[in-house]
Amino acid sequence: MADFTVEMGTAVCWGSSSYSPTLSGITLTNDITLKGLASATARQGERVDLGANRAGGYSVQVCIEMDSDPVAGAPISVYWSSSYSGTAATGNDGGAAITGLDAAWAPTTIDEWKSQLTLIGVLPLTSDNKTPNVKTINTYFSPPTRYGQIVIVNGGGQKLNDTDDIEMYVAMIPITDDAA
């Protein structure tokens, strides 16, 4: 009988151009601008190709910093907009923009349209805006498609840090089984 080990692959990481991996140790691969994201609004990250032979599952970690003290437990929700097509304008779940680029995700009603996305997980905020909130929001997320993009919905009651977004990111870290 073969032994199996679990390997951690190279992360797919969304952040801004000012992102620094100092806190996370994760290298930036894709764009999403979270600086100043207002409460009750959402943003979609750059569309990614996870590859024809991708990991079956991903651990998903999020780091968010608020501009002022939110209500403890208020949610930052992270979703996946799937697509079976490599063409940015084709088949995006939940009204994600056809450009495939970092952009505001602004359907007519966020609460209505987010139900067409796949929920990855929720980061419950602490009431301290001085410390970045970091959490693995899903230990094994299995994207249903090769192509897609993240969508972040700010339910924090306050805007995200608008001074900088150097520490804010969403990372999908591939988890693969390997026969030893």
* CA 91 to chain centroid: 19
Provide the 3-class DSSP secondary structure of residue 112.
helix
pLDDT digits (tens, 9 = 90+) for 85-138: 988 888 899 988 778 889 999 888 899 999 999 999 999 999 988 889 999 999
Residue 167 has pLDDT above 60, yes or no: yes
Distance CA 138, CA 158 (A): 24
pLDDT level of residue 60 (50, 70, 90 thresholds): very high
Helices and strands, number each (H, E), in the chain: 1, 12
Give the model's pLDDT for residue 79. Answer: 98
Task: Look at residue 180 in the predicted model and tell me its pLDDT.
Answer: 58
Domains contained in the chain, CATH given: 12-170 (2.60.120)
pLDDT at 3 (0 to 100): 63
Long-range contacts of 106-113 (CB under 8 A, 24+ apart): 106/41, 106/42, 110/40, 110/41, 110/42, 110/153
pLDDT the model gives residue 4:
65
Split at pLDDT 50, 70, 90, the class of 2 is: low
Q: Which of 4-8, 74-78, 145-149, 151-155 has the lowest mean pLDDT?
A: 4-8
Average pLDDT on 38-53 reads 95
Buried/exposed code over 151-172 (b: 16+ C-beta within 10 A; e: otherwise): bbbbbbebbbbeeebbbbbbbb
Q: Measure Cα distances from 21 to 26, 31, 87, 117 in Å.
A: 5, 14, 30, 28
Under the banding of pLDDT at 50, 70 and 90, the label for residue 1 is low
Q: pLDDT averaged over the chain?
A: 91
What pLDDT is stored for residue 177 in this prediction?
76
